[in-house]
Amino acid sequence: MHEMALAEEVLQIVQDAARREGLRRVVALWLEIGQLSCVEPEALRFCFEAVACDSVAAGARVEIVAAAGAAWCNECAAPVALAALGDPCPLCGGYRLRVTGGTQMRVQQLEAV
């Protein structure tokens, strides 16, 4: 399962940050998930809770922050919003798009005690 691997990756980032900053317990984390990242936020939340149960982030609240999809349209020579991969340009209806944002998944912020 794709989300399980991602959850382990997220936990690794959280554990590294906790070690670096000397955090005893992470109580919440903010995960930025791009609209175009093909990550199912609820599945990722569920997997994270499972992999984190023995870690510094056990029981941590997972806040999902959605990041909008963005692309550059070669026809319009302008940045446009993109709701899903494979969608046409909302301005000209063309497909000469280069995705520029919204495919990322990253840990934005941690809250610790």
Q: Which stretch binds Zn ion (CB under 5 A): 8-16, 18-26, 33-41, 82-90?
A: 82-90
Q: Does 110 bind Zn ion (CB under 5 A)?
A: no
Q: Does 11 bind Zn ion (CB under 5 A)?
A: no
| Cα 103 from Cα 14, distance rounded (Å) | 20
The CA–CA distances, whole Å, from 64 to 7, 24, 41, 74 equal 13, 23, 7, 31
Q: Does 71 bind Zn ion (CB under 5 A)?
A: no
Judged by the rule CB under 5 A, the positions of this chain that interact with Zn ion are 73, 75-76, 89, 91-92, 94
